[in-house]
Amino acid sequence: PESVPRRCRVRLPPDTTREAFDEAIDTLRKALGEDNVVLNDKPLIDGWYMEHPNTHDAFHLVDQEDLVSSATVYPASTADVQAVVRWANTHGIPIYPISMGRNVGYGGTAPRVPGSVVVDLGKRMNKILSIDVENASCVVEPGVSYFALYDEIQRRNLPFWIDCPDLGGGSVLGNAVDRGVGYTPMGDHFGAHCGMEVVLPTGELLRTGMGALPGKDGADNPTWQSFPAAYGPYSDGIFSQSNFGIVCQMGFHLMHETGHQSYMLTFPRDEDFPDIVEIIRPLAQKGILGNIPQLRHVVQELNVTGHPKSHWYSGPGPVPRDIIHKHASRMPCGDCAWVFYGTQYGDEAAIKTQLNMIKSAFAAIKGFKFFFPSDVPPDHYLHDRALVCSGVPVLRELDWLNWKSNAAHLFFSPITPTRGKDAKIVHDINVRLHAKYGIDLFPTLCIAGREMHYITNIIYDRSSDDEKRRVNALMTELIAETAREGYGEYRTHLLYADQVARTYNWNDNALMRFNETIKDALDPNGILAPGRNGIWPKKYRGKGWEL
């Protein structure tokens, strides 16, 4: 099923004839160079994480050809991006910017409007523009991956860490713009940024923060990467999870390297869950927990080994609880229900003090166990956590995809307060609805002092229409049911953007009306990523595009 003949040779942008499209593409080729505009007219290939397509959603949830581009353009500079944006306005063709396109599980590189032209920034705009050692900061273009930034810091032997998500192949800038998270004390990627250069949907160029104040003799402002908010309204936020601009440069603060110690805790009973959350809250609020720890259900200990589901269980439906227990009891984690991955930072004495406080807090949960990396075999996942939590990018989480053949995955990511009773409401909804649709539940909770990201990884076989149908039904119902209880998603796949946006509807959709006002003012022709995060420009609204 990797590469089947295309139904239509090129999926045209809406309301565009083939003739008008060819003419527009010709103009674009003249402006950017023949080789930098590529038609999407070949068979679609899903590839894999490191060789992912920029033509469609490799983890398709609907027909592979439903979310496709018409072409891809590769700008080399901010000026090129401005030229592409002006071209889109002239021809009325929607464009869809991506950095590296590795936000797998949220739509990959696919545009929301089929036939859009994907603006692949990452391929040629991939420079680390600066690393300021004194200021502990850097400025990057969209094509700089966590691996690339890490390698450069090692090459120059600088005393810094980077903060990467579970997978290190993504774009530092793209992930921050989409408000992704990581696992060192600087895990809030958008929060760690300082200053942006943005091409607006009309082609105008904007610098945010101190960047708006010109430096001496035409230099960049010397405090652009020092002070994020500068003067007047803090505008950076509207360029995250939106379709209000194309970010071409972004500054980030870097973390100084420090001592660190990762560890694993296990808890014996499923029903310990709310109590574990209650214990984490004060530890996190007081800063005793060093990073955003992960709490995972024990079923993930099976999954992250990289063995397929059939290795553990050959029956139909989700792996039953007793089978999970049976296998877990023979693994390093032992017969438990929840597994906690944490890391402490500082010098040896500080780490020792922190660990003592953590152990004595969790002693309230009967049967909890504590493991250092040296207590588990060398191939155990704890060693990969230790790397991620000390700023080293890895790819271990890809092993999840061995669970099924033709595996794809999707995230359901609601936010709850860090309170046992709230977390339990969302967990119970997940347990019930995953069982209803016969899908394994893989919850990973990233728990901070006041909120937690309750993230479930839904794995499906993309060659099975039945599985796709069940996954779609599960997602739709999860979003609706959690919203009824007052909880919402922090991020979602393209296909659920409208539904999730509609749940944020307090006071007669005041927030969406506000977003639409900004969208229409900045993008009067509605060319930039229509529909992204549920924000549709005037041209598209109420014409049946919303899902």
Cβ at position 100, least distance to ligand ADP in Å: 3
Find, among 87, 5, 11, the residue nearest to 55 by Cα. 11
> Which of 94, 174, 420, 526: binder of ligand ADP (CB under 6 A)?
174
Q: Which one-letter DSSP state was computed for residue 221?
A: P
Task: Residue 536: count other Cβ atoms within 10 Å of its Cβ.
Answer: 25
Judged by CB under 6 A, which of 28, 68, 71, 100 binds ligand ADP?
Answer: 100
Q: Are 427 and 272 in contact (CB under 8 A)?
A: no
Query: Cβ of residue 546: shortest distance to ligand ADP, in angstroms?
Result: 18
**Do 178 and 193 form a contact (C-beta atoms < 8 A)?**
no
Rounded to whole angstroms, the Cα distance separating 397 from 244 reads 32
247 is a site residue for ligand ADP (CB under 6 A) = yes
Does 99 interact with ligand ADP (rule: CB under 6 A)? Answer: yes
> Given candidates 97, 143, 211, 393, which one binds ligand ADP under the rule CB under 6 A?
97
Q: Is 101 in the site for ligand ADP (CB under 6 A)?
A: yes
Using the rule CB under 6 A, is 82 a contact of ligand ADP?
A: no
Q: Do residues 177 and 237 touch, judged by C-beta distance below 8 A?
A: no
Among 49, 490, 502, 541, which one carries the catalytic annotation?
490
Antiparallel, parallel or unpaired: β 137-140 and 128-132: antiparallel
CB of 110 to ligand ADP, least distance (A): 8
Q: How many CA atoms are closer than 13 Å to the CA of 362, on its beta-carbon side? A: 26
∠ CA 452-453-455, rounded to 5°: 140
Is residue 381 flagged as an active site residue? no
CB 474 within 8 A of CB 433: yes
Q: How far apart are CA 414 and CA 221, in angstroms?
A: 38
Residue span binding ligand ADP (CB under 6 A) among the ranges 29-37, 165-173, 222-230, 358-366: 165-173
Q: Is 142 or 228 the residue whose CB approaches ligand ADP more closely? A: 142
The residue from 56, 91, 102, 309 that contacts ligand ADP (CB under 6 A) is: 102
Q: From residue 501 to residue 540, what is the string marking binding to ligand ADP with x (rule CB under 6 A)?
A: ----------------------------x--x--------
How far apart CA 537 and CA 520 sit, in angstroms, is 6
> Which range of residues in 70-78, 97-105, 354-362, 430-438 is near ligand ADP by CB under 6 A?
97-105
- Assess whether 532 carries a catalytic annotation: no
Beta strands (DSSP E) in 83-229 are: 95-98, 116-120, 128-132, 137-140, 160-161, 193-199, 205-207
Minimum CB distance to ligand ADP, residue 17 (Å): 27
491 is catalytic: yes
Q: Does 171 bind ligand ADP (CB under 6 A)?
A: yes
Residue with nearest beta carbon to ligand ADP:
174
Residue 371 CB coordination number (10 Å): 19
In terms of CB distance, is 106 or 437 closer to ligand ADP? 106
CB atoms within 10 A of CB 347: 9
Q: Which residues are known to be catalytic? A: 106, 490-491
Q: Site residues (CB under 6 A) for ligand ADP? A: 97-103, 121, 142, 170-171, 173-175, 177-178, 246-247, 529, 532
